[in-house]
Structure 1
């Protein structure tokens, strides 16, 4: 008798029409990867608005959440890929560190700069 798959490792039947094998863990991984990539769009928009290079706090939140989601995919899914773990472990620590520094420097409710 084989081991039963964790419910997040089972294929999502409502996505069978796509022809892709998508599991709950893959959905978490996809969402994390999209969030981690989309943070650059957030940074671009903030820089355009400010007229100078800036990194908004949302960038760090998206970095933390995105890297932790993709890290959890590589750690806990049936994939358990050590390359993916290593690839996402360091960015997770760096993003958390930078978020903590940003909060310490500007406070929880930072004030907007007036021009």
Structure 2
């Protein structure tokens, strides 16, 4: 576990949904996606570059996001990503499934005090 007590394994299975959530806010490129995730998590989670690009490639292959080259006038060109309508639908479905799973896990893990 890291210093915040959260196992990276608990988050790993949700990286695609986290990226889709960031892209719902608007088109973005890799470094800014990673930075957004750090900010949203209040510094408790840093998505590593290899994981990011593996997820982006998978999401693009599934048609949930699409990429395009930016028109920067300074520095190197950046590859931007945008969420597709299918990606937005998948995000909503994944969020709903997460909420149901979280409720079930809470029931299974949290000890309920018996009332006498």
Bigger Cα Rg? 1
Q: TM over 0.5: same fold?
A: no
Q: Which has the higher contact order (CA 8 A, sep 6+)?
A: 2
TM-score by length of 1: 0.33
> Comparing both structures, which one devotes a greater share of its residues to strand?
2
TM-score by length of 2: 0.33
